[in-house]
Every structure is written in C-alpha cells, then in structure tokens.
Structure 1
Amino acid sequence: MIRDILRGRHVTDPDPRGLRLRGARIDGRLDLENITSSMWLELTDCFLELGVNARDADLKGLVLSGSQLNHPTEPPLDGTRLSTTAVFLDRTIIDAHAAEGAVRLFGAHLGGLECDGARLDNDSGPALYAERLHVDHDLFLGGDFQATASGDDVVLDLSSTHIGGVLVLNPNSLQHRTHPHHKLRLDGLTYTGLPREVTPDQWLALLRHDTIDYAAQPYQHLAAAHRAAGHDHEARQVLIAQRQDQIRRRALTGRTARTWARLTGLLLGYGYKPWRALIALAAVLTAAVLAAVVLGGAYGALTQIRTPPPATPVPCTWLEHVGVGLDLGTPLLTTGTRTRCDTTNTGPGHTLTIIGWTLRLLAWAFATLFIAGFTGAVRKT
C-alpha cells in the first residue's frame, strides 16, 4: 500500500507534506526499490519488522525518526544508490545481522543525512556502509549517535564519500566488538571546513589509530582544511603525523625508503622542521671547537706556523684554537686561522685531523639536509 501511494495510486489529492505515519507496525519488508516519487515518506516512531529496501529509489525525502528497523540477514535500511533530498535517522534504532551493513548507502546521493541520537548495531558487519556516498549539505553523526560493528570490516565506511557541508562526528560513538581499532575507513572522504564535535587532536588520533589501514588522502585533506583556516602549525603537525603513520604501518616499501624516512623525521621533522638540521650543524661546530681547544692546548695538537720555523714549537693562542675548530667543522667557509696555526705531526695532531674530517663530513650532511628541508625537497619525497 505504501509503495502504491508513493507512486500516486489510491490517492487523487495527496497531502503536500507527503505520506506520514506515526507509531505504525509494518510487517514484512517495505519495498521501495526503483520507485520514483515526488512525495515525502515520513515514518515516525514506527516498527518495521524487516526494514526498508530503497535500492535505486528516487524519493522527495525519507524520515525514519524514532523508528526501529530489523532484518535477520539483509541491511535493515538498504539505500544503495538512493537519491533523495534528505534522510532523517534521528533516534532511529537499527539492529542488523548483515555483512553488508546495518545502514547501506553505497553510491547514494542525499541532500543531507541526520543521524543524531541514532543507534546502529550490527553483529556481522559495519554499522554504516557509505562508500561513494554524495551528500550535498551536512552529515550529522553527533549527539547521542552510537554505532557498533563486528567482524573484519569497520564501524563506519566513508571511503570516497563527498560531503558538501560539514561533517559532525562524535569520536566516542564508535565501537567495534571484534577489532577495537577498526573504526573507520576514510580514504577519499572530503568535507567542508574542519569536522565538528571532535577536536583536531581527536580527529588526528582517529586517523592514526582507528582507521583500518594507512591512507594519505585523509591527512592531506585535513591539513588543507587547517591551512584554509589559517592554522599553519596544525597543518604541519598533521603532515608529520601522516609520515609517522606511513612508517609505522609499513606503507613505505623497501628498507632503504623506511630508513631514509626515519632519518629525515629525526633530523628535519620530515621536512617540516628544517631548523633541527641547523641545531645538529651547530652541535658539530661546537664539537669541532672543543676538540681543537682540548687537543690543541693540553695535548699539543696545534702549533703556530712561522717562517723560518722556530727551534721549539710555539703553542697557538686560545682564539686561534677556536678559529681552527671553526675551520674544521664549517663547510665552505673559513676563518683563515690555519695559515697561522695548524695541526702538528704528532699523535694528537693526527687525531685532531681525523676528527676534523669526520666533523666536516657531518657538517656537509646537515647543511645539505637543511637546504633540502628548507626548499621542500624532502617533503616531496
């Protein structure tokens, strides 16, 4: 009967507000598959014994507020490729035993989706399967929304979903009986601004710890949202977290690539903190100066250069020790001190020479890393 009314049968002058039922019990499965209707369907506080099949339907709007939907094997609400201006599931209770999801909105096109206060529970699969869902305006999964899943899939699958408005999500609303951290699949998800009802740190924690596998796109999209809001520091933190997650989940192939990523993370913050390389370079220069002062003073590794050579070596001054140390540790630049003070042909002198070679090599490496980080070359890799 409901299907026929939505198709314009049995009613010559339909209510412009649509078909509205409250507190009704609907036995069997409500079949709306392939239907096209210009009427709203509003089922408030109803009990649908076997749920709703709205596959490939084109409806004005669908309201299931406060209703209860069940099905022993199929999704209680199957909206695969459903097209409608809005779906209201606020306070809706859905109990499912379906691998395809408690609510299935694969490829659907909705004006908006309201799930505040809904309870989706599936003991055999995801709570909400919404891959390739297109929402023109807002997607509300906040308030007292609760979603529970089981099995090997995630609680919410929003992969390749486009949200034209804001995403509202309560981070504490997602539970997985089998795998506690298999909460989200978000690769390809886009939305406007920053997610609501979840702090930036909470959203970042969800990406790092509660997604089923590594994907770069959710991090990149979040970083772009932060930049658009003028949050440059937060954007950098997101991109650093992306690289850390990529390494942790072994998304980088090859030991060399992972080693390089860890090295640039330590020394450059993956290219977003190039000042770390400058600190390392300063440490090298300090070590070079200390080596020159200690070995050149107490151990006679340095002597003044005079013409003709004196019978007894003349120790260099403290300032000359510092100059030699800077010359040993600084790439390209020189103080000219080594024309007046240089290493002796002794054990300590040879030791200082070897230390100088090593420190200069490190200085070159840190200087090169700084340039690579400053210019963004490391970030591009």
Structure 2
Amino acid sequence: MTEPAPTKLLADLSDREQQLVEAACHGNWLDCGEMDVGRLAASTARSRLVRAELIRELLLGRRGDLDPRGVRLARARIVGELDLDMVHAVAGLWLNGCAIDKQIRAKCATLPYLVIQASQCAGIDAYGIRVNGPLLLWDGVRIAGSGERGTVDLTGAHIGADFEMTDVEVISPSGVALNASNIRVEGGLYIRRGGRIAGRGVGGAINLTGAHIAGDVYLEDMEVSASGGPAVSASRIHIDGLLFVRGGIRLIGDDEDGIVNLIRARVDGFGGGVVDLKVVAQPGAVLLNLWEMEVKTTMSLPPGLVCPDRGQGATCEHLRRVRLDGLSYAALGQGTDWREWLHLIRCHTPAYHASAYQSLAAVERAAGHDSNVRRILIAQQDDLRRRSPDALTGRLTRSFHWLWGLLAGYGYRARRTAAALLLVFIVAGAMGWWAGQVNTRPGHHAAERVLPAGAGAAASGVPCSSVELVGLGLDRGLPLATTGVRGRCDLDTTSRRGQAFTVAIWGVQLAVWGLATLALAGYTNLVRKTS
C-alpha cells in the first residue's frame, strides 16, 4: 500500500506570515500595526497581508505544535476565503481588528474557541460547527452579505460555553441575518449593546427556532429589524435559565405570526421579563406571539409595551396585539398588575381564548386571591359572549347567558343571586298587598278574605289585613313552602283583575325557582364554567 502524499504547504511565506507562525507556536499575539478596518480592507502592503490558507494550515497543526492559546492575529488583512470547513483545530482562533476579504467558512468544523473582534467580513457559514469553548463576536464586528441559509449561519451548531454578540452589525439584503436554528449553547446567549441585526424575507432577522440554551438569554440595547418577516423567530426554543428582552431594544418587523415569535417556547427560569422595549409595527399587528409558551417560574411583561395607557378596563382604543392563548406561567413578575394583564387579555389579543383567562385565574388562585379569580372568570364569560358569540349557539342561548351573568355573575356572584332572590320576595309580598287595594266590583277586591261556605256571590268581600296580604303574596310566590294565610285570605280568581294578579305571581314564582337554582348552584360550584 502506498503512503499518502504529504500535504503541500504554502510556499514563499512573507516576513509577516512567518511571524504569525512563530507567534502561534509561542502563544503570542501578532499585531500588524495601527490601521482602521476600512482602510485595512483596501491595503496592499505585504506587511499587513496574511493569506487565509495559512490560518487553516496553522489550525490543522501542519506548521508544527501550537500553543494552547491559539492563533491570535490583530489588524491584518486576511486575503482570500478563510476556509475552515471540516477542520478539527488543534488550537482556537482570535481575530482582532482584521479585514477579512470574503466569507468565513467553517461548516462542521471543531475549534477549542472562536473569537472575532472589531473585524469585518462578508458572512460566516458555520453550519454544524462545534466550538468547545466560547463563540464571541465582539466590539464592532461588521458582517454584511448574502448566504444560502443566512449571513451568519450557525444552524445546528454546538457551543460549549457562552455565545455572545456584543456591538455587532449583521446585515442581510436578501435573507436571514442570524440563523441559529437548532443551535445548542451550553452557556448563555447574549445579543446586546448597541448592535444592529437586519434581515429580509419570511425568515426574519434572528432565527432561534428549536434552539436549546442551557444558560440565560439576553436581548438588549440594540435594533433588530426585518422586512417581510419577524424580528425574532424563536418558536420551540428551550431556555434552561432566564429570558431577558430589555434595555432599550428596538424591534421592527412585519409578520402575521408576531414581531417576536415564541410559539411553544419553554423557559425554565424566566425572571427578568421585558423592560424598556420598543416594538415598531403596523396598527393591529401581533407584537408578541406567546402561543403555548411554557414559563416555569415568573412571567414579567409590562402592559405598557402593548397598551401605552396601561389600561385596566374592558375597552381600549389602541390596536396593538399580543397572543397569550396557551401561555402558562407560575406567577406574574414584580411590576405586572393582574388588572393590567386582564386588560391585555380582553382588549389586546386577536381573538377570545379561554386558556389566557384560566392561566391568570390559576396564578391568582395559587396566591390566595379568590376575589380576583371571580372577577377574572366573569370577564372571561363576558368576553366569550362579546367575541365568540357563535360558541353560545343561538340568540336565545346568548340571551340566557347575558341574564345569567347579570343575575348570578355566571355562578361566581352567588350573593348577587341571593340579593335578586330577596328582591323577588319583596315584589311577591308587594303584589299581594297591592291586590288587596284593587277593586274588582263593588264591595270586592282582587285579594280579600275567603268567604265562608254557603255565602252568596253577592255577599260583600271582607278586606284582609296588610300582614295577611303580604303573607298571601309570599305564599303564592314561594314554590314549596307556604305561610298558611291562603286559608283566610286569597286572590279572587273569578274576576279579571284577580286573574291578572294570579298570572303575575306565577311569573314571580318562576323567577323564584330560577334564582333559587342559580343561588344553590353558585354556592356549590355546579354551574361554574372553565372554558
């Protein structure tokens, strides 16, 4: 078997390139002098040029053993395409203030660490890259260009420590700016401090779909914008730590699924929330899509983000929207009032969904605020009738639903039902008294003393006492119990007016039956709905 031919190395290394080899072997920096990145990109001075292929050779160990501190190069122009595809590097790479002519390619590469600082390039294609330590893009990195899967493509990457983008500008004229779908980060994810990420199309600006972050996630103090897509798409993201979206961040997007998409996201340590956040969108647009998001601990979302007036009522003139259906959380964070949260559910969600009310009610119930729970669930039923009337199947059902809410608070205001029942009893007694004052024919009233057997029809009626008349009304109005007064005083059903009072008291009796049923059901939770 013939042995493979030895790999041919770059020949004719310049003095600067030879210095880089020596620096990498001894763990030193190679600094090519003071020059800003813009001027450096146009420089042709050999003292500032390093061929990209030499960096690949160094990382593969083809130029001898490297110091564990890695290849560290400052203020150089890297000529050609930096191709690290499939490289299993023996040391890490740190580029500071460098102008990289073309895209950095690192598909399925493995590096101990990767740091790009204050540099510029035309893109990073690092699909499936594995970085055992941190991946850092720092201090004014500028990346502009187009890529098949994104200007910065980290799809399926595995980062063994923190992934940080600080003061970084990533601009894509035709697609996703930062594509980190299905990335796994063993540390935290930090995208912050004055940077700008801009994409175009349905992929949006930042794609974190299916990502798993073992630490915290911070998005703060920067601008994220997308034309024709979401600013941040992070559906099914799993965050073991905290999620913070705050610090003057400006989000601009255009997507029906939400400017920030957290559909089915799972956050095990949510605690910071959304603070000082500005979202730019068309009126009526969904700003945050939290559909079926699961938050294990505290949920903090300032209502002022969605409703500038921080409203607490049942109506609002502002058209901003947020999807909260299916969102579950253990508690509301500090500074988030349950009344304002209820206002968001009633006035700033695209449609009625019972789950949003049920989640808030569960949080308040766990806190021991039963009165708040009743108000939330009553608001749910009001919203059901207002925004989802078809669920009540028919005008008659909707009318009964409205009456049920008015008289019984949908079963959550049993005291109101009891008060209405007391009022009906008063009406019944008043009707009995009134019947004793109404003449039907000379000498007779609609309610009068019962005549003894054998008395003629022309015999004069004997008036009942006021107590007897009130007792008569109650006796007629009570469905089951009786006062026994009807043996002495009763309605004259042979007269039209007596018949009218009889029919009216039947109506009172029906009302007593209905209200008594509602009161009993309200106290025993038989009619409380949860959907």
TM-score band, normalised by shorter chain: 0.7 to 0.9
Correspondences of 1:269-284 after superposition (within 5 Å)? 269-284=409-424
Q: CA contact under 8 A between 1:7 and 1:37: conserved in structure 2?
A: no
* Cα offset, 1:88, TM superposition: 0.8
Give the match for residue 156 of structure 1. Answer: 260
Residue identity matched to 1:40 = P
1:33 paired to 2:134 = no
Residue identity matched to 1:333 = A
Residue identity matched to 1:57 = A
* Cα offset, 1:259, TM superposition: 4.7
Give the match for residue 337 of structure 1. Answer: 485
- Comparing 315-324 with 168-177, greater Cα deviation is found at 168-177
Q: CA contact under 8 A between 1:42 and 1:62: conserved in structure 2?
A: yes
Q: CA contact under 8 A between 2:93 and 2:115: conserved in structure 1?
A: no
Q: Identify the match of residue 190 of structure 1 among 294, 299, 321.
A: 294
State the TM-score, normalizing by the size of structure 1. 0.86
* Cα offset, 1:21, TM superposition: 3.7
Correspondences of 1:1-381 after superposition (within 5 Å)? 4=84, 9=89, 11=91, 18-25=113-120, 27-45=121-139, 46-50=141-145, 51-60=151-160, 61-84=162-185, 85-91=187-193, 92-111=195-214, 112-166=216-270, 168-170=272-274, 173=277, 175=279, 177-191=281-295, 192=297, 193-250=331-388, 252-253=390-391, 255-256=393-394, 258-299=398-439, 300-308=445-453, 311-344=459-492, 345-380=494-529
Q: CA contact under 8 A between 2:244 and 2:274: conserved in structure 1?
A: no
SS at match of 2:294: coil
* Cα offset, 1:186, TM superposition: 2.4
Stretches of structure 1 lacking an aligned partner (at least 5 in a row): none
SS at match of 2:490: strand
SS at match of 2:131: coil
Cα RMSD (Å) of the superposition?
A: 3.1
**In structure 2, how many angstroms separate the alpha carbons of the residues matched to 1:278 and 1:6?**
77
**In structure 1, how many angstroms separate the alpha carbons of the residues matched to 2:223 and 2:476?**
69
**In structure 1, how many angstroms separate the alpha carbons of the residues matched to 2:476 and 2:276?**
57
| Structure (1 or 2) with the larger CA radius of gyration | 2
SS at match of 2:163: strand
SS at match of 2:332: coil
* Cα offset, 1:356, TM superposition: 0.6
How many equivalent pairs are there? 379
**In structure 2, how many angstroms separate the alpha carbons of the residues matched to 1:259 and 1:82?**
53
Calculate percent identity across the aligned residue pairs: 29
Q: CA contact under 8 A between 1:186 and 1:211: conserved in structure 2?
A: no
* Cα offset, 1:350, TM superposition: 1.1
The C-alpha deviation readout for 1:315-346, integer Å capped at 9, x for no partner, is: 11111222122223333232222222110132
SS at match of 2:391: coil
**In structure 2, how many angstroms separate the alpha carbons of the residues matched to 1:12 and 1:148?**
36
User: Are residues 255 and 356 of structure 1, via their aligned partners in 2, closer, same or farther at CA, if it must alter by over 3 Å?
Assistant: same
Q: CA contact under 8 A between 2:91 and 2:112: conserved in structure 1?
A: no
The C-alpha deviation readout for 1:51-73, integer Å capped at 9, x for no partner, is: 42222222132111332222123
* Cα offset, 1:178, TM superposition: 2.8
**In structure 1, how many angstroms separate the alpha carbons of the residues matched to 2:83 and 2:359?**
41
Stretches of structure 2 lacking an aligned partner (at least 5 in a row): 1-55, 57-81, 95-110, 146-150, 298-330, 440-444
**In structure 2, how many angstroms separate the alpha carbons of the residues matched to 1:172 and 1:69?**
23
**In structure 2, how many angstroms separate the alpha carbons of the residues matched to 1:270 and 1:127?**
41
* Cα offset, 1:304, TM superposition: 1.7
User: Are residues 124 and 5 of structure 1, via their aligned partners in 2, closer, same or farther at CA, if it must alter by over 3 Å?
Assistant: same
**In structure 1, how many angstroms separate the alpha carbons of the residues matched to 2:428 and 2:418?**
15
